[in-house]
Amino acid sequence: MVNIKKLNKISPVIYDFLPKEKYNVSSHLEDSESDAFIVRSADCHGMEFTEDVLAIARAGAGTNNIPIDKCTDQGIVVFNTPGANANGVKELVLGCMIAASRNLPEAYDWVKTLSGQGDEVPKLVEKGKGQFVGGELKGKTLGVIGLGAIGIMVANAASAIGMNVIGYDPFLSVDKAWTISMYTHKAEKLDELLEKSDFITLHIPQNDKTKGFLSTPEFSKMKDGVIILNFARGGLVKTTSLFDAIESGKVKKYVTDFPDADTLCHPNVLAIPHLGASTPESEENCAVMAAQQLRDFIETGSIVNSVNMPECIIPPSDTVRLTILHKNSPNMVGQITNKIASYELNIADMANKSRGDIAYTVMNLDHEISADAIAELSQIEGVIKVRVL
Ligand SMILES: NC(=O)C1=CN([C@@H]2O[C@H](COP(=O)(O)OP(=O)(O)OC[C@H]3O[C@@H](n4cnc5c(N)ncnc54)[C@H](O)[C@@H]3O)[C@@H](O)[C@H]2O)C=CC1
Ligand SMILES: O=C(O)C(=O)COP(=O)(O)O
C-alpha cells in the first residue's frame, strides 16, 4: 500500500486515479508514515521528510509553499500542474478588471445603504449612480507581466475585447510564443510596459528573484491612475511602496487575490480571498493532473511536470526497473553500470536525463536485483535515491 497524505482538501476525483486497492490517500496520515504528499497552498516549509518520501504533487501552479531545494537534496520529486487552473484565474482577472474599472464593489456597497427607502429606491439609484462612473476596457492598454499559462490567456482575452496588450516575459519559450495573439505587443524592457499601461496584471512566480518585483522605482514609472491586479502572489508587490503610490495618485486601485493585514481594509484595495483557482473545473483539472503524475512516477518512474527533476517519459515495462536519482557529475553512470555488471545483471534498456545538478537514470534489468546490490548502489557517492519497481 502506498500512503499519500493530503495536506489540503483536494477534489475527490483523485480517487479515480489513485485506486483504494493500492493507494491509501488520506489527510489523517502522519508525515512520518507518508510515501508522498498531495498539496494545494498549505505551507510545507517547516516539514521534515523521511527518506522514504518519494514525491510531492502540488495540485496547482505556484510552488513557493514547498521547500524545493530541500526536496531536491533529499531526492523528492516535486510536481505541479501547469495550466490546469489557468482558465479559472483568467476569468477572475477579467471580471476584476471590469469590477475595478467600473467601481462595482463601491457601487454594490452603496446601493445596499438604500435599504429601507421603499418606493424611493429607483429614484435614489438614478440620482446617486453618477458617483460610480467608471471607464470601459476597450481601447485601454493592459500590461501583462509573465506570459506563461495564465498571462497568455489573459493577454488573448483582453485583445479579444478590444484592449491594447503589452506583454513582458524575458524567459518566454518558443512554444508558448506560438499561442500568443498576434495583437500582443512585446515589451523588450519592463519600463516600456510600466510607462504605457492603464492596467497592469502580474502572472509570474514568486521566488527569491521576483520578491518585491513592483516597488518604488517601478511605481514611479507608471501612468497616473493605473489599476494593478495581482493574482500571482502577495510578495511580488512591496506594500509600503504601493501605499505611497496610492497616496500620490499614481495607483488608483490595487486588486489582490492575496490580502494581508495591511492591504485587507485599505479603501483603494479590492481584496479577494485567493479565489483564482477556486472553481470546480480548475480544482478537478489540477487534482486529475497531480494524481496522474504521481501515479505514473510511483508505478513506472516517469517524471512529467516536475519543478526540480528532469523530465523522463518511459513506457511501463514487465521487467525489473531500477530508478536512480543522482548528482549530475562525471562518471556517475559509469559507476552505476559497473556496479550492476559486478552483480552479473544485464541492462536491457536504459535512459539518463539531467537537469542542472541532478540526473536521473532508469534501467530495465533482465533479472531481479538483490538487496545487497541496491545497498551498494545507494552507497556510491553522489547517488541520492534508488528505487526498484
Ligand atoms: N490566484 C491563484 O489562484 C493562482 C495563482 N497562480 C500564480 O500565478 C503564477 C503564474 O502561473 P502560471 O501562468 O500558471 O505559471 P507559468 O509557469 O505558466 O508562467 C509563469 C511565467 O512567468 C515568467 N516569468 C518568470 N520570471 C519572470 C520575470 N522576472 N519577468 C517576467 N516574466 C517572468 C515565466 O517565463 C513564465 O512564462 C504562479 O506561479 C502562481 O504563483 C497560479 C494559479 C492560480
Ligand atoms: O495554483 C496556484 O498557484 C494557486 O495559487 C492556486 O492555489 P489553491 O490551489 O487554490 O490553493
The predicted-structure confidence for 272-293, as pLDDT tens digits, reads as follows 999 999 999 999 999 999 999 9
Distances (CA, A) of 375 to 60, 90, 287: 36, 49, 35
Q: Do domains 1-80+279-309 and 90-271 have the same CATH topology?
A: yes
Can you tell me the mean pLDDT for 292-314? 97
Specify the ligand 1 atom closest to the Cα of 176: 37
Best of 203, 214, 305 to mutate for ligand 1, by most ligand atoms within 8 A of CB?
203
Q: What percent of the chain has pLDDT over 90?
A: 99
CATH code reported for the domain at 1-80+279-309: 3.40.50.720
| Ligand closest in space to the Cα of 176 | 1
Best of 9, 41, 272, 283 to mutate for ligand 2, by most ligand atoms within 8 A of CB?
41
Give the list of residues 6+ apart from residue 263 with CB closer than 8 angstroms, or none.
Answer: 234, 239, 242, 254, 256, 269, 271
**Quick one: cell of 108?**
454594490
| 24-59 confidence digits (pLDDT tens) | 999 999 999 999 999 999 999 999 999 999 999 999
Which residues does residue 175 pair with via DSSP β-bridges, in sequence order? none
Best of 6, 10, 85 to mutate for ligand 2, by most ligand atoms within 8 A of CB?
85
| 113-151 confidence digits (pLDDT tens) | 999 999 999 999 999 999 999 999 999 999 999 999 999
| 379-389 confidence digits (pLDDT tens) | 999 999 999 99
77 lines ligand 2 (CB under 6 A): no
What span, in angstroms and rounded, lies between the C-alpha atoms of 73 and 309?
11
82 lines ligand 1 (CB under 6 A): yes
Residue 359 is predicted with a pLDDT of: 98
354 lines ligand 2 (CB under 6 A): no
Can you tell me the mean pLDDT for 240-260? 98
146 lines ligand 1 (CB under 6 A): yes
What span, in angstroms and rounded, lies between the C-alpha atoms of 4 and 27?
8
* pTM (2 d.p.): 0.96
ipTM: 0.99
Mean pLDDT rounded to a whole number for the chain: 97
Superfamily classification of domain 310-388: ACT domain (3.30.70.260)
58 lines ligand 2 (CB under 6 A): no
| 3-20 confidence digits (pLDDT tens) | 999 999 999 999 999 999
CA angle 93, 201, 7 (to 5 degrees): 65
Cα of 348 vs centre of ligand 2, distance in Å, is: 42
Residue 323 is predicted with a pLDDT of: 98
Specify the ligand 2 atom closest to the Cα of 59: 9
80 lines ligand 1 (CB under 6 A): no
Can you tell me the mean pLDDT for 348-365? 97
Residue 23 is predicted with a pLDDT of: 98
- Contact 312/367 with Cβ under 8 angstroms? no
The domain made up of 90-271 is a member of CATH 3.30.390.50: no
- Domain residue spans in the chain? 1-80+279-309, 90-271, 310-388
Residue 203 is predicted with a pLDDT of: 98
| Ligand closest in space to the Cα of 11 | 2
Can you tell me the mean pLDDT for 227-255? 98
